[in-house]
Amino acid sequence: MLTFILILLVILAASIHIRAEYRGPQQHIYIFKPLTMVFILLIAILGQAALPFYKYMIITGLVFSLAGDIFLMLPTDRFVAGLVAFLLAHLFYSAAFASEISALIWWPLIPFVIYGIVIYIILVPSLGKLKLPVLIYVAVILVMAWLAWERWSQTDQAGALLASIGAVLFIISDTILALDRFRGTFKLSRALNLTTYFAAQLLIAGSIGTLTF
């Protein structure tokens, strides 16, 4: 019951935040963006993982994601700080996913690599001094998604499937964010970015066991 209430609170807070991105007030962004992540973090804390290490790594990743959200919503440009925070979050997610993998199968990484190359080629003319940081970030998030897929393919757990879907949604969210920031804004970018982002975090948090009834 508590988990259901928290999911409703995630949806409500995320909706208010997305609306504020378009119509204001700015204060709602400062309140409801981190609040949405706090609710998602509580869902993760309630989860019961077979391996405690998995739960601890996911929770730590969510904490760094919350820090990244705060950096990115500040009125001053803290994009690099936000990038580093999310980079660390993906490293912790990767550690969680890798903890239940017995052996790596390399061929599923190929489509992720191709996708990353295409996106990076599109972005690179506008990156300036951020070429290397963005390249590293792209590599890390793609490896994270690949490890999530590997875990699901090897364990066939419902939680692993949620995490794998969440990882893919994270890639989609970050792609929209990057295109919006470096290649030009389009009207629905914030709504699409934030919807996929919060859904990704919710699924990854729920993969601990809270959403796998």
pLDDT digits (tens, 9 = 90+) for 160-213: 999 999 999 999 999 999 999 888 777 788 899 999 999 999 999 999 976 654
- Phi/psi region, residue 212 (left: phi>0; alpha: psi -120 to 50; beta: rest), is beta
Do the beta carbons of residue 37 and residue 62 sit within 8 Å? yes
Share of the chain above pLDDT 90, in %: 69
Q: Which of 8-17, 46-55, 98-107 has the highest mean pLDDT?
A: 8-17
Q: Which of 4-8, 106-110, 119-123, 170-174 has the lowest mean pLDDT?
A: 106-110
Do the beta carbons of residue 120 and residue 135 sit within 8 Å? yes
Closest CA to 190 of 204, 173, 205, 169: 173
> What pLDDT, on a 0 to 100 scale, did the predictor assign at position 208?
92
Q: Which residues lie closer than 8 Å to 96 by C-beta, 6 or more apart? A: 53, 54, 57, 58, 61
> What pLDDT, on a 0 to 100 scale, did the predictor assign at position 211?
67
Tell me the three state secondary structure of residue 99: coil
Do the beta carbons of residue 148 and residue 97 sit within 8 Å? yes
* Chain segment 67-112, per-residue pLDDT in tens: 999 998 877 768 889 999 999 999 999 999 999 888 888 888 999 9
Report the distance separating Cα 33 and Cα 77, nearest Å. Answer: 17
**Is the confidence at residue 46, as pLDDT, over 60?**
yes
